[in-house]
Structure formats: structure tokens, C-alpha cells
Amino acid sequence: VGRVQTNRSSHSLRSLLPVGCEGMWDRVSCWPHTALGQNVTLSCPDFIFFFINKQGAVTQSCTAQGWTEPEPPYGVACGYDNSSLTDVDKRLYYLAVKEVYTVGYSLSFALLSAAMLVLCLFRKLRCTRNYIHVQLFASYMLRASSVLVKDVVLFSNEDTDNCGSPTPWCKLAMVFFQYCIVVNFSWLLVEGLYLHTLLLVAFFPERTYFYCYIAFGWGAPALCALAWVASRLLLEDTGCWDTNGSTLPWWIIKGPILLSILVNFSLFVSIIHMLLKKLRSPLVRGARSNHHYKRLAKSTLLLIPLFGVHYAVFAFFPDEAGELATRTRLYLELALGSFQGFVVALLYCFLNGEVQLELRRKWRGWRSERLLVQSSKQRQQQQQQHAAASGGGSTRVSLLLRGSAAGTQLTCSQQEQTTVL
């Protein structure tokens, strides 16, 4: 009965709709019900433009034969091709991409958690530089959490029809995702600003600067997220807020990210230039110059993940590349972005000389304490065994004395009996 009533209600609702094309989900975008002869234009969804850095739109028309093919295709408009691959290829490709960045974000979250504990628990590691590192680690952890939460809420099942009425949870997941992305880029910028100031200025109040960094790193992204929510509510309150038909919400999030990438890349070039000037100075020039250039190369490689320089490389990647190049770029960018937190925690915590020295010192102290406890326990056991042995000897002596006394008494009684006889 319930099925019959449901079929009747759905049939009655369809009869109320004008003649045209029914709404559909093509696993990329949600196309609404459209009247015959009308065109629908949708922008590229969030999961595409956030990694491909291309803002585009796709149009479909409703004809008597049904929906037309997307024009321009997803590969041209968004850097994503949903039609040139077979279903098996698409499934394998996106399963591989999802598995890679899921593993990357999970490993990054675990190692970043351990790195935060190390930097926070050891007193000798508490300084402004490590405090900023802890904030950066926290931003990477939030970014990993937001990506995994968004996947669970929005894309738990690829076959789900996402054209239904959105829930507040999916919008909240998108707000959390946008905030965490901007937070991560803001703390990458703070790391660049702090290191550049440290090399440029001889003395500056680090504590005052640190409070300013805290306000900027966490406060500025909150303002961006609030502005994005307001623009969504006023201009484009559709779906789960994962598409961008209006340019203003897109630029509220994308603008600060691109600005931070540009500023950080400029700081990176400036720091490398300062290091080169120091190497060319008369005090450094001369013997062992190759050693100094090796140190410069090592410092450059260490700064790349800290500054997020690879984002600048992908930002200048041509959008008109072919399908294979676009898919390779998407795969590499997602993989590098997901494992970036893992690399940063490894380089700036567990491979740091100060951290390794402190860990070895704590390990030696823990081992010495353990050896002292074991030696004290062994001494107590030896004392107890010695006391037990001493007590057992005295007991045997007393028993022997009692036995000899009893034998003496028996002999005396026998003597008395002999005397009586």
C-alpha cells in the first residue's frame, strides 16, 4: 500500500511539472527540471576548481529527445572529462585518487599529532619558532579533517542522487572545509613572514609578533568564511554550496588563497636571494664553497614544503592542457597536498637536530630511571632472600636443640626405669 501511495504521489507531482526534461545527476553536477527548449548553465563544482584553479561553466539544453551533451565538455570548461573515459576507467581513476589522498591525510594527521605532542611536552623546545610550527601543524590537521568529513557527508556514495534537498550538515561541512583551507594557507604565509623577518631584522619583539600572527592566522580566515557564508545566503543559496554560479563567493575564498601563494612565493625568492648574498660575501667566499652551496640547496629544499612553493607551480600550469596532463596534474596536486603535512612534520620536528637531541636525552633519562628501579627491586629481593635464609637457619638450629633435649629426657627416663628394676 505504501509503495502504491508513493508511486501515485510521485506521478501526481510529475503531472504538475511542465513538460520538459527531468532533473538528473551526472556524477558531476545536479541538473534541475527544465522546460522544453530551455538552456541551463551550471558552473564547475567545488571539488574541481579548488584543485584545477579554473573557473568555468557548462550548458545543456532540453530538447524533445532529452538532454543534450554538455557544451563545452567538462574537460574544456572545468579541466575534467566525464565522458571520454569508460565507466571502469573512471571508477578506477577516482578510486585511486581518493585512496591516495585519504591515506595521505590520515598519515599526515597521525604524524602531525605526534609532532605537536613532542613540541608541546618538552620545555626546552618551547620557543616562538616552534609555537608557530605547532599552529601550522594544527592547520594541517584541520585541513585533513575537513577533507575527510566533506567526503563522508557529500560523497559517501558516488551513485547517490545529490539533487535532493540539501541538509544543514552538508552546508556546515562546506563551511568547515572552506575555513580550514584558508587557515592552512594563512599559516603557511605566517611561516614565510616570520622567517623573512627573522633574517631581515636583527632584533624584534617575538612575543608581540607572535600574538599578531595568532590573530592573523586564525582570525582572517574566520572573516573570510563569514563573508563567504553571507554571500552564499544572499546570492547563491543552492544545493550544498558546492557549486559556484556566482563569482563573488568564489573570489572570497580563492582570492586570499591566491594572494597568500603569491606573497609566499615572493618571500621564498627573497630568502634565497639573501642566502646567496651571504654566500658571496668575502667572509664566506673561499675555502669549502661547495659545502656552503650544498647547505643552500638543502635549505631551499627544506623551504619548499614549508612555504608551499609547489602551489605556485600548479597555479601557473596551463588550463588548456590535454586530458592526460590534466588528470596527471590533479593526481599529483592531490597527492602532494595530502602528504604535505606528513613531510612538514617529518622535516621540522622528527628530523630536527634539537628535537632529536631532546628525544635522545629523554630516552637516556628514561632508561637510567628504569635501570635504577630494576636494581632497587633486585636489591630488595636479595635482602628478602637473605633474611629468609637467615630465619630458616635459626629455625633449624632451634629444632635441633629441641630434639637433643627430648633425647636427653628420654635417656633420663630410661635410666630411672633401669634404677627401679
Using H for helix, E for strand and C for coil, what is the string for 45-94? EHHHHHHHCCCCEEEEEEECCEECCCECCHHHHCCCCCCCCCHHHHHHHH
Q: Which pLDDT belongs to residue 137?
A: 95
> What's the one-letter identity of residue 209?
Y
Contact present, 53 and 315 (Cβ < 8 Å)? yes
Q: Do 284 and 230 have their domain in common?
A: yes
Among the three residues 311, 328, 352, which one is the final residue of a domain in this structure?
Answer: 352
415 assigned to some structural domain: no
Whole-number pLDDT of residue 79: 63
Does one domain contain both 272 and 199? yes
Which run of H or E residues covers position 305?
helix 289-307
Shared domain for 244 and 319, answered yes or no, is yes
Q: Is residue 382 part of a domain?
A: no
Report how far residue 143's alpha carbon sits from residue 136's, in angstroms, rounded to the nearest whole number.
11
- So what's the pLDDT on residue 13? 41
Query: Of the candidates 319, 352, 385, which is a domain's last residue?
Result: 352
**Is residue 357 assigned to a domain?**
no
Note the pTM of the prediction, 2 decimals.
0.70
Shared domain for 262 and 221, answered yes or no, is yes
Q: Domain check: are 183 and 327 in the same one?
A: yes
* Per-residue CA distances from 66 to 21, 61, 413 (Å): 6, 8, 129
At 248 the pLDDT is 87
Q: 234-273: per-residue pLDDT in tens?
A: 988 877 887 776 788 888 998 999 899 999 999 998 988 8
Provide the pLDDT for residue 20: 80
Q: How far apart are CA 76 and CA 324, in angstroms?
A: 13
Same domain, 121 and 204: yes
**Stretch 171-200: mean pLDDT, rounded?**
92
Total tally of structural domains belonging to the chain: 2
Report the CATH number at residue 39.
Answer: 4.10.1240.10
Average pLDDT in the chain: 76
- The mean per-residue pLDDT over the stretch 18-34 comes to 76
Domain housing 91: 87-352
CATH of the domain at 222: 1.20.1070.10
Same domain, 63 and 101: no
Report CA-CA distances (Å) from 142 to 12, 150, 224, 283.
46, 12, 16, 45
Is residue 373 a part of any domain in this protein?
A: no
For CA atoms 300, 301, 305, 308, the dihedral sign is: positive
User: Does residue 392 sit within a domain?
Assistant: no
Cell of 274: 639573501
Are residue 196 and residue 300 in the same domain, yes or no? yes
Per-residue pLDDT band at 373 (split at 50, 70, 90): confident
Q: Which three cell numbers stand for residue 267?
A: 618571500
394 in a structural domain: no
Same domain, 206 and 72: no
- Do both 179 and 272 map to the same domain? yes
The confidence score (pLDDT) of residue 411 equals 40
- Which pLDDT band, with edges at 50, 70 and 90, does 231 fall under? very high
Asked whether residue 164 is assigned to any structural domain, the reply reads yes
> Last residue of some domain: 352, 375, 398?
352
Residue 104 maps to a domain: yes
Please count the other Cβ atoms lying within 10 Å of the Cβ belonging to residue 384: 10
Higher pLDDT, 324 or 240: 240
Lowest-confidence pick of 123-132, 276-285, 328-337: 276-285
Condensed to tens digits (0 to 9), the pLDDT of residues 74-96 reads 777 776 555 544 545 566 777 77
